């Protein structure tokens, strides 16, 4: 009986190692395929790879629209207002101090750029 159990454990471990190795090979192959895919195919394959359910992008907006009877721009605006409601208002004082320290020495005139590009084009 004990030899049967040890044989069972030995074979079970061998099968589990083989299954883990095959899973690793499978996922490595799938990831390699993603490297050569365009962005649309990449997302599609990634969702399949991760077993994500396909969802309609506008489904939640349509549900919200029918419940609120508001316009789509109002619904989107209300969403962003709710997301950022906990943030404090923007403090513009650092921006004002930067604007006061602004120096014309860092301003590049477009004609200077054009002249430099023309000089480089003539030189080459």
Distance CA 27, CA 34 (A): 11
Q: What is the DSSP string of 84-119?
A: TTTSPPP--HHHHHHHHT--GGG---HHHHHHHHHH
pLDDT: is 121 or 101 the higher one? Answer: 121
pLDDT tens track for 83-95: 788 877 777 676 6
**Closest among 24, 22, 44, 23 to 34, alpha carbons compared:** 44
Confidence of residue 16 (pLDDT cuts 50, 70, 90): very high
> What pLDDT score does 18 carry?
93
> Rounded to an integer, what distance in angstroms lies between the CA atom of residue 70 and that of residue 61?
11
């Amino acid at each position: 009986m004990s030899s049967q159990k040890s044989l069972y454990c030995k074979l079970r471990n061998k099968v589990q190692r083989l299954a883990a190795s095959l899973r690793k090979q499978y996922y490595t192959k799938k990831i390699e395929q993603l490297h050569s895919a365009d962005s649309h195919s990449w997302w599609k394959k990634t969702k399949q790879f991760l077993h994500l359910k396909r969802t309609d992008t506008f489904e939640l907006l349509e549900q919200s629209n029918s419940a609120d009877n508001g316009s789509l721009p109002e619904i989107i605006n209300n969403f962003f207002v709710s997301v950022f409601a906990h943030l404090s208002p923007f403090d513009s004082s650092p921006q004002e101090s930067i604007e006061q320290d602004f120096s014309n020495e860092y301003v590049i005139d477009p004609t200077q750029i054009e002249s430099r590009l023309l000089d480089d084009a003539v030189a080459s």
